[in-house]
A and B are shown apart, each in its own frame.
Chain A
Amino acid sequence: MPSEAGVGSREIVIEVLRYRSDTDSRPVPQRYRVPFTNDMSVLQGLQYIKDHLDGTLSFRWSCRMAICGSCGMMIDAEPKLACMTFLRDYHPGPLRIEPLTHFPIERDLVVTVGGFVKKIENIYPYLIPKTPRRLDEGEYLQTPTQLAQYESFSDCINCMLCYAACPQFGENPDFIGPGAMALLQRYNGDSRDGAQAKRMELVHTENGAWSCTAVGYCSEVCPKQVDPANAVNQNKTRSALDFFLRFLRPAHSGGAASNGDAR
């Protein structure tokens, strides 16, 4: 029975965790039968539900091509982007879809991102030049080797899958977490940046690098190979050394060692 959406004859059962904040006292699962073709993503499945079965279903999405970071959700208990996960891999279902774990649910699959945004704000997420230059002095130069130090950390799309993967973030919502730490390292590892000491103050705290226990699952679920576990754990090493080396530095500088300074 081909439908107007041009979907195929195969059908999959999708079970979505619903939470309608105005009427539900707690989240409840709801099942839908969704016809699909081989090339349909989980996101397209959800769009089919919204367009043809239940217009009240809420979820975030934008680009459909794994670059906006909006459609992160738990797909069969794993944090994934709905746009780069395919229905065919879960046929015949039931495929369980839930909002990203560890985050408060606003409605259905939409979670609260305020806490994450606040964390990003706190890490000075911009270049603070080591030596300010006037416009007529030209650009800040950087070698390919210097770029390689932080390049992957600049690929983060803020999808928050790593936070859903991190049990220590689940235990301690104040933990800065893998994503924000990757962004922090993106700047701290940049040879042009001079604000390492400022950012390290946060790293040194219990909610900084020290809430991490190197589970490593954050890097496994990252859709962009940012490797946030590397960002957090190399800062653990840096923070641990700084804990003792600070006593050897001249008294006035409370700053932190960083590879940015060394290179």
Chain B
Amino acid sequence: MKRSVAPVFWLLFGAGGMLAALTGPALVVITGLAAPTGIGLSPDFMSFARALSFVHNPFGKVILFGIIVLFFWHGAERIFLTLRDMHAGGRLTLMWICYGTAGVLTFVTVAALTMIGV
């Protein structure tokens, strides 16, 4: 009997889902609400210099890579399944679109992190 390849995407989905459940709300509050408005955090919290030194740090790189990429793969799985439920297209087509997008964005993330360098 033929094994499904779903486990690959499901584990990425699960890792991203767990990461989002533990860090998502706090991250949205910090980078999307508190820092931009200066409420509760310094308006310079995400200044160019600080952001740059954060990304230069290897730990910063790993954190950003993990969050961005796993969030993408989490979303890709859910969007794929929902589009399939909605009969938005054939199964393989939707897989290519959703997982393909996540794959391309993973590549772009690596490229951006590499460009910024150490």
Establish whether A and B are touching in the complex (CB under 8 Å). Answer: yes
Residues of A within 8 A of B (CB): 167, 171, 201-202, 204-206, 208, 210, 213, 236, 239-240, 242-244
CB nearest to A236 among chain B residues: B10
* B side interface size, CB within 8 A: 12
Query: Are B7 and A205 neighbours in the complex by a CB distance under 8 Å?
Result: no
The answer, among A167, A202, A213, A240, for a CB contact under 8 Å with B7, is A240
How far, in angstroms, from A236 to B8 measured CA to CA in the complex?
Answer: 11
Query: Are B1 and A202 neighbours in the complex by a CB distance under 8 Å?
Result: yes
- Min CB–CB distance A205 → chain B (angstroms): 5
Q: Which of B70-86 contact A (CB under 8 A)?
A: 81, 85
- Min CB–CB distance B27 → chain A (angstroms): 25
How far, in angstroms, from A244 to B7 measured CA to CA in the complex?
Answer: 9
Residues of B within 8 A of A (CB): 1-4, 6-8, 10-11, 14, 81, 85
Given contacts A204-B3, A205-B2, A205-B4, contact A240 B85 (CB under 8 A): no
Chain B residues within 8 Å of A167, by CB: 85
CB nearest to A246 among chain B residues: B3
The answer, among A171, A210, A213, for a CB contact under 8 Å with B4, is A210
A-B contacts counted at CB < 8 A amount to 36
Given contacts A167-B85, A213-B81, A213-B85, contact A208 B4 (CB under 8 A): yes
Ordered by A's residue number, 23 sampled pairs between the chains whose C-beta atoms are within 8 Å are A167-B85, A201-B1, A204-B3, A205-B3, A205-B4, A206-B2, A206-B4, A206-B6, A208-B4, A210-B4, A210-B6, A213-B81, A236-B10, A239-B4, A239-B7, A240-B6, A240-B11, A240-B14, A242-B7, A243-B3, A243-B7, A243-B11, A244-B7
Query: Are A204 and B1 neighbours in the complex by a CB distance under 8 Å?
Result: yes
Chain A residues within 8 Å of B14, by CB: 240
How far, in angstroms, from A239 to B3 measured CA to CA in the complex?
Answer: 9
CB nearest to B10 among chain A residues: A240
How far, in angstroms, from A206 to B84 measured CA to CA in the complex?
Answer: 14
